Structure 1
């Protein structure tokens, strides 16, 4: 073998090595890296969706009996007045809202407005970013919301509250009986009335469409039995089912999801403003006023008891009063 033939042979070997090595490098750069980026983006959306489902249960009750039907749930109402209506969403409505806010109609450079129609059902295409590089088909298959039930709060403090509430029921039972005789109406006097459940730990599972990967998701991307596989994307699903599962948890007492009547009743449990709002106390006031010169002159007779106000600011018909300012001092126009 001459020197010139050795040089030519080495040149051919170098070219072969270059083509093979560059092929594998560019496969990683142009297919694997972008694909993993898309997968991580879907995983992030799945995590955000799980947090969203947990948080929404602090805003929306699932049904009127979400609190086990205690006495104060009788104050829950559905009303056209947003200040008096209980906020409710079923599990299916919440799942639809999740689809529309995180998966459907959410694409690159596309901002989707939040509206009440979110609960009507998933609408709109999924992100154009979620597409396989080789096949060009969608990577997204679907979303499931699991374990949506309200659970007992896993805390000793809530067990103590349960025992304390039961003890108060024994103490207040004879008091409530006497109040009912004279026309009183406070069936839950001194009840703590906490939601002893209120614990949610939903799981959200997003599934990739493995069948849309080049090769169907179950082949070999490298040489197998002397032939090339269907696509490099198959390698992703060799030991993975293409699912993301995110867990979240939240403790929701639900104060911000109740009616005005519920607030008043709950306040009245500990501020006995309505305990003395009955016929017997009116008679006692009238009798005591004689010692002060009669009802028209008596300070005792002017004592008045009723429901506690729970408005965050002075208002009329659930609307805040106007404010007037004078030399730096502001007042409500009453």
Structure 2
């Protein structure tokens, strides 16, 4: 009898564990995978947009030559935000487009992991809710994004900002707002999950960077900015060059010639050309 009772007890314990532990876990694991995917993508979107702002400036950089052939790396906020669904929410197999020429369709292009059963006996629907019920569905309709930039935070940052401000006496105007912070948030539709009737969840990603934005507007612009910090630039004038030319005729004075000894010399050719353009122009998103 004892052995029979033990077998019966084990059977009951197994049935209870199966009912209240194993089956709920089997139901929750796929769902938790979807929620992890939502949080992962919104975090990636926040990191991406804060980084892009350090690359593409908001306004025209200082000391930019008055020449139409020189451009600065500038992109509007909306154009950066428009890339979020194309890069982080589309299903596998679709090309990432920098042009965004085709209209984005959240229901058609969204990744399958971001779809779930929203009501009883329904098929999988888009989990991401519209930010505003009255908004027209499009690139910006299912996420919200805020961007902030400012001075270096903290007391140490204020000291650094003051030190950088002193460089303005040399004529060099550096960017004094190197702090970039971005928030991206997603709200899910009320959706169905056994044994819960409706779930209303939201996810938020935040990213902050401290970086000097890439604001060179061409070779001439970069050269002008750097020369302000080269001390020998004060010797780059006509009188000194005349003395160099005269000294070059002296025996053993070849090194004094202007083609050998260049005061205030800067070589900006090492800059990457693909970042020296204005967004929207030819060969630069235009």
- TM-score normalised by L of structure 1: 0.57
Who is 2:80 aligned against? 94
Matched, 1:129 2:113: yes
Q: CA deviation at 1:251?
A: 0.8
1:60/1:88 contact within 8 Å kept: yes
2:216/2:222 contact within 8 Å kept: no
Q: Distance in 2 between matches of 1:169 and 1:161?
A: 14
Matched, 1:33 2:29: yes
Q: Cα RMSD between the aligned structures?
A: 4.1
Name whichever of 132-141 and 51-60 sits farther off. Answer: 132-141
Matched, 1:64 2:60: yes
Who is 1:115 aligned against? 97
Q: Measured at CA, do residues 38 and 233 of structure 1 come closer, stay the same or move farther in structure 2, by a change above 3 Å?
A: farther
Secondary structure at the aligned position of 2:268 is classed as: coil
Residue of 178, 185, 191 corresponding to 1:198: 178
Matches within 5 A, 1:1-334: 28-29=24-25, 31-64=27-60, 71-72=62-63, 74-75=64-65, 85-103=71-89, 105=90, 107=91, 110-118=92-100, 122-123=104-105, 125-133=109-117, 134=120, 135-136=122-123, 137-141=125-129, 142-146=142-146, 148-167=147-166, 188=171, 191=172, 193-210=173-190, 213-214=191-192, 232-235=195-198, 237=199, 241-255=200-214, 258-272=217-231, 274-281=233-240, 285=243, 289=246, 302=258, 308-312=266-270
Secondary structure at the aligned position of 2:223 is classed as: helix
Higher Cα Rg: structure 1 or 2?
1
Structure 1 unmatched ranges of 5 or more: 1-13, 66-70, 173-187, 215-220, 222-230, 319-334
Q: Measured at CA, do residues 42 and 50 of structure 1 come closer, stay the same or move farther in structure 2, by a change above 3 Å?
A: same
Q: CA deviation at 1:273?
A: 5.4
2:83/2:100 contact within 8 Å kept: yes
The alignment of Structure 1 onto Structure 2 pairs a total of residues equal to 239
Structure 2 unmatched ranges of 5 or more: 1-10, 130-141, 277-286
2:114/2:127 contact within 8 Å kept: yes
Q: Measured at CA, do residues 111 and 262 of structure 1 come closer, stay the same or move farther in structure 2, by a change above 3 Å?
A: farther
Who is 2:137 aligned against? none
Q: CA deviation at 1:311?
A: 2.0
Q: Measured at CA, do residues 118 and 198 of structure 1 come closer, stay the same or move farther in structure 2, by a change above 3 Å?
A: farther
2:181/2:208 contact within 8 Å kept: yes
- TM-score normalised by L of structure 2: 0.65
Of the two structures, which has the highest relative contact order with CA contacts closer than 8 Å and spacing of 6 or more? 2
